[in-house]
Structure 1
Amino acid sequence: MSSFTHPTVLIIGGTAGTGKSTIGESLINLLRLKYPNSQFMEGDRLHPQANIDKMSQGIPLKDEDRWGWLESISKESTKSASQNDGLCIITCSSLKLKYRQFIAAKSPETSFFFIMIYASPKEILMRLTRREGHFMKANMLDSQFQDLELPLSNAIEPNSRIITVDGRLENHVLLETFDLSFELLRGRSLRVQILEIFQLYKGDRNPCSRDENFNNGLPLELIINELSWVHIATLKNELHNLVSEGFLEEISEGSAFRLQ
């Protein structure tokens, strides 16, 4: 069962002008310390030409214009995550709750997390009026805010968070984004995080790949260190569950494990 994959996608959302691209690029550079091959994608580049033409003419998009684009966001980010260490970061306005739900539903095998960047209409208008080369026009601002539904309930959207940028330094916004991203990644199921470690350390990144005593497995100590925020007894219990279900094989009398 070593083919087990459960891709993770972090979506940076919000209206135009909130700095989604800047935040996404900074975040991927940090996360590449753990996920070296992970990719950052500009969701706007997945818009069909018809949508780009509309926005370039100052015509707001309607729901029917967005469904195909949102499906591409879901499928392409999942594909990228599956091929690159299990993680992808992509920008996508994701303005409405039903848009975020649609993205997740189109790729149910993927863990989607949304970090919504919020700036007031006044702040956005100031940013857009001095911004060149983007098809979003300042006169479309009202439409964006009419559509905006921030994730205000953790009960309804447990995988979504909000960051406000008004009156804050860029570095402070980035630091909060980093913190929230790690919080969301650590909130995934424990078995997904365990199996992810085996994927990340496979091949030439496996510190035990040349150690015949471990037979290409990972030592328990390394797994504990990688998941240091998890109670050791809970972690060991989940490792043994994965062994009993055939995902892992216990070797060296429980001092190491490897994928089946």
Structure 2
Amino acid sequence: MTDRLRPIVVMGVSAVGKTTIGIALARLTHGRFVDADDLHGEANVAKMTAGVPLEDADRWPWLDRVGAALEPGTVVACSALKRVYRDVLRRHAPEVFFVHLHVDAAELIERASERDGHFMPPALLQSQLDALEPLGQDEAGAVIDADDRPEEVAARSLASLPTGAR
């Protein structure tokens, strides 16, 4: 099944549930899961840990590493906040499908405040919300409400995939 499944990027801001839903979606599709956070270089992690937002120049090498991971049957959790970032990913995998998880800002702040041990501090959440560019009409993807239990969000994400791509 995974040899025919197009690569999927579970996208959105910090604390929206990208990793949780990405893992669940990979299980449902019998795919491989990759967390793009694990592909950040040390300098990026140090910046974010210090509460400094990344600049585009920090992101380009990281996005190339993420793009290289986008093989058929792979589900990648990646913020992919801006159209130009998604364009980089599409250059690596033109058939990529984006699952944009959405949760209201108050819920995001609560989730971010409850996380322990994550290098992305809640203080940077607003910078991500400000940078977020919704999927364009010409981008393959779907916006999924992520307020429900992870199993329900993952099932809706799976149902959003184009027919024949599951």
So what's the TM-score if we normalise by structure 1?
0.59
Contact 1:7 1:111 in 2 (8 A): no
In 2: Cα distance, 1:17 partner to 1:133 partner: 13
Matching residue's letter, 2:155: L
The structure with more radius of gyration: 1
In 1: Cα distance, 2:29 partner to 2:122 partner: 33
In 2: Cα distance, 1:126 partner to 1:113 partner: 28
2:5 maps to 1:24: no
Question: For residues 105-124 of structure 1, what are the structure 2 equivalents within 5 Å?
Answer: 105=91, 107=92, 110-124=94-108
Q: Which position in structure 2 is the counterpart of 1:239?
A: none
Q: Cα distance, 1:172 vs. partner?
A: 2.6
Q: Cα distance, 1:142 vs. partner?
A: 1.1
Contact 1:18 1:119 in 2 (8 A): yes
2:122 maps to 1:138: yes
Q: Which position in structure 2 is the counterpart of 1:177?
A: 157
In 2: Cα distance, 1:57 partner to 1:121 partner: 22
Distance 1:170-1:87 versus aligned 2 partners, 3 A rule: closer
Q: Which position in structure 2 is the counterpart of 1:48?
A: 41
2:128 maps to 1:149: no
Contact 1:121 1:141 in 2 (8 A): no
Question: For residues 59-208 of structure 1, what are the structure 2 equivalents within 5 Å?
Answer: 59-77=52-70, 81=71, 86-105=72-91, 107=92, 110-151=94-135, 153-154=136-137, 156-157=138-139, 159-166=140-147, 168-181=148-161, 183=163, 185=165
Q: Cα distance, 1:6 vs. partner?
A: 8.1
The alignment's C-alpha RMSD in Å is 1.9
In 2: Cα distance, 1:170 partner to 1:115 partner: 14
Q: Over residues 20-45 of structure 1, what are the superposed CA-to-partner deviations in whole Å (9 max), with x where a residue is unaligned?
A: 1111111111111xxxxx31111100
Q: Which 10-residue stretch deviates more, 173-182 or 54-63?
A: 173-182
Matching residue's letter, 2:116: E
Q: Cα distance, 1:171 vs. partner?
A: 3.3
Q: Cα distance, 1:103 vs. partner?
A: 1.1
Gaps of 5+ in 1: 33-37, 187-260
Matching residue's letter, 1:176: R
Partner SS, residue 185 of structure 1: coil
Q: Over residues 113-154 of structure 1, what are the superposed CA-to-partner deviations in whole Å (9 max), with x where a residue is unaligned?
A: 111101122111000111101011111111000100111x42
Matching residue's letter, 2:126: D
Distance 1:20-1:179 versus aligned 2 partners, 3 A rule: same
Matching residue's letter, 1:163: I
Gaps of 5+ in 2: none
Matching residue's letter, 2:102: Y
